[in-house]
Structure 1
Amino acid sequence: MSIRIGIVGISGFGGGEAMRLVANHPSFELVYAAGEGSAGSRLVDRFPGVPARLAGLVIEKWDPAILPQLDLLFASLPTGSSAQALARVPREVRIVDIGGDHRYAEGWAYGLADVWPARIEGQARVANPGCFPAATLNALAPLLVNGLIEPGNIVIDAKTGISGAGRGGADNRFGFAESNENLAPYGLLQHVHMPEMASTIERLSGGNAAGLVFTPHLVPMTRGVLVTIYCRGSATTGQCLDAARRFYADRAFVRVTDTPPQTKWATGSNLSFVSYAADPKRNLVIAMGVVDNLGKGAAGQAIQNANLICGLPETAGLEGLPVWP
């Protein structure tokens, strides 16, 4: 029996990636696509490579009052754009919000799928983590749970590809001429992902994350997130790697590596790579994490969460290899 799927914001990068994954999912059937500027056009007009069975599906103007019969809805809308509308979606329609409006909101499970899968299973409302938290928290979780680092002394240096900014808007920083051959920090001190990272660090460790520092940088590549995280702790490199391997022993999508991970390893996939380097004499632990910002950082983890919600194998529709080169 197929599960009837809708995608809101399908013309954006996150929504388009969700469509690509849903189209190849063994149990999902895409029956509803919605957007704003793209409303009225067919999927094939926006995505010429879409499968023939989906080519004629017309993108509708997003209106939660006139949804067709759906089992699950993916919402990929800019932060600040989904809370009021999704509140009007009937309760029987399960939702995975890829945007930022419901992370740690009342009534919504936080969808950090590789760390807390049991908290997502069977839920009706799941908030997908942001791309930076996906890379950061997967790398930190084994260290925090095992008390190998201090939760109040964490500095995150993050790099992201241009697609992390989304497809919409007219901000010239994200055009080719401005971003090519350029490296730029942004969102200093008050980035939108700070609260969810701090809250999760505190829940994993039982400590206080008041000293968290996070600086993201925009790099001239299309996809990928790399985080280098500086922590205080007396663990060795081997202890960190062993803790991560135990923590993720039965998790399909997290790969613990002896060497520092690279963004290319994850491109086009739902994989998350983590690694560590430590110097006990300096009380220093460096954690590293890599994800594809549109995969594990958005649509890939959303599909993983949907699988957990629907009682499907967690890997359904997500077992494709990364794109290389």
Structure 2
Amino acid sequence: MNIRVGIVGISGFGGGEAMRLIASHPSFELVYAAGDGTAGSRLVDLFPGVPVKLAELVIQKWDPITIPKLDVLFASLPTGTSTEALASVPKGVRIVDIGGDHRYVEGWVYGLADVWPTQIEGQTRVSNPGCFPAATLNALAPLLVNKLIDPMNIVIDAKTGISGAGRGSANSKFGYAESNENLVPYGLLEHVHMPEIAKTIERLSGGSAAGLVFTPHLVPMTRGVLVTIYCRGNATTSQCLDAARRFYAERAFVRVTDKPPQTKWATGSNLSFVSYAADPERNLVIAMGVVDNLGKGAAGQAIQNANLICGLSETVGLDGAPVWP
């Protein structure tokens, strides 16, 4: 099967990771790449190690009206920049939006692929979850569905690598000198991922997420997300692990582990690791989740979603092992 795909925002970290995965995908053929500041460049100019078959593909100026005939478009644009443009893309082109503008927007399916794969199959407009929600919601879903925790009392402590902030500019505050040997909390009380986390908690549990607290931190590493989530519930550790193993029994990319997960376990992959520790006497459940913010947290889940909407096995092109060390 030859499925013609395009990427807009290919020069960013998310778009570049999508290009890397598509390059080895047996059914996807990258025929269109678009950007603004990089228009006119060849892919090999931006990515010297790109496969020869893609090296001479020229990046086009992004214009949704003049895109070529495509089956799937991956949009990896900064939040706040894609709503109007993607509305102009021809209806026959299926879109996976890696950016944040269409999460829980009418007409778009929320692409939490490991939790609701059947709801994504055959859709034409899919919004990818953010990187923090990808790690958080995969860890919480089995607990919420099985009523093992109180949805109103959840505290999320999240850590992300610097690539989660995007490529930025030469004057970016996320450069080496600012980020090395530094740990930075940000987005307090109003992070852009809060609404989708809260809405999904409510959707999974049937209750309110009014007490949700979410604090992200930048850590001096390139990629990876680890969330430690504090919940109220009287389940045991074994009950939490058993619930997760049942919930994800048929899911290819979620690994339930007895020991706390580490970010390097997921580097360069579409894997999601979850684990739990609980003390019923203290009414405490700790859920932990790990993803690669550019993999499951962005391009990996986007490819998984595209596989689902195209009628392919969701694992196609995503079977590669994590990078280690």
Interval containing the TM-score (normalised by the shorter chain): over 0.9
Secondary structure of 1:64's aligned partner: coil
Distance 1:202 1:70 in 2: 36
Distance 2:120 2:248 in 1: 17
Paired residue type of 2:255 = R
Secondary structure of 2:287's aligned partner: strand
Secondary structure of 1:190's aligned partner: coil
Aligned position for 1:322: 322
Distance 1:128 1:149 in 2: 26
Where in structure 2 are the equivalents of 1:1-325 lying within 5 Å?
A: 1-169=1-169, 172-325=172-325
Query: Is the CA contact (8 Å cut-off) linking 1:223 and 1:292 kept in structure 2?
Result: yes
1:170: Cα distance to partner? 5.5
C-alpha spacing 1:128/1:171, structure 2 compared with 1 (3 Å):
farther
Secondary structure of 1:260's aligned partner: coil
Identity among equivalent positions (%) equals 85
Distance 2:173 2:167 in 1: 12
Paired residue type of 2:33 = A
Q: Which runs of 5+ in 1 are unaligned?
A: none
1:266: Cα distance to partner? 0.1
1:245-287, Cα deviation, whole Å (9 max, x unpaired): 0000000000000000000000000000000000000000000
Distance 1:207 1:294 in 2: 31
1:172: Cα distance to partner? 3.7
1:115-173, Cα deviation, whole Å (9 max, x unpaired): 00011000000000000000000000000000000000000000000000001245643
Secondary structure of 1:222's aligned partner: coil
Name the TM-score, length of structure 2 as normaliser: 0.99
Paired residue type of 2:120 = I
Distance 2:110 2:125 in 1: 9
Query: Is the CA contact (8 Å cut-off) linking 1:77 and 1:99 kept in structure 2?
Result: yes
Distance 2:169 2:146 in 1: 42
Distance 2:13 2:96 in 1: 16
Secondary structure of 2:65's aligned partner: helix
Distance 1:72 1:312 in 2: 13
1:85-135, Cα deviation, whole Å (9 max, x unpaired): 000000100000000000000000000000000110000000000000000
Paired residue type of 2:211 = G
Distance 1:41 1:266 in 2: 32
Count of residues in correspondence between the two structures: 325
Distance 1:24 1:187 in 2: 36
Paired residue type of 1:230 = Y
Paired residue type of 1:48 = P
1:47-66, Cα deviation, whole Å (9 max, x unpaired): 00001111000000100010
Distance 1:111 1:102 in 2: 10
Secondary structure of 1:231's aligned partner: strand
Distance 1:160 1:34 in 2: 27
Query: Is the CA contact (8 Å cut-off) linking 1:10 and 1:34 kept in structure 2?
Result: yes
1:197: Cα distance to partner? 0.2
Distance 2:271 2:255 in 1: 7
C-alpha spacing 1:278/1:212, structure 2 compared with 1 (3 Å):
same
Paired residue type of 1:165 = A
Secondary structure of 1:174's aligned partner: coil
Distance 1:103 1:67 in 2: 24
Q: Which runs of 5+ in 2 are unaligned?
A: none
Distance 1:7 1:310 in 2: 16
Distance 1:91 1:177 in 2: 45
Distance 1:20 1:134 in 2: 20
Distance 2:289 2:178 in 1: 27
1:13: Cα distance to partner? 0.1
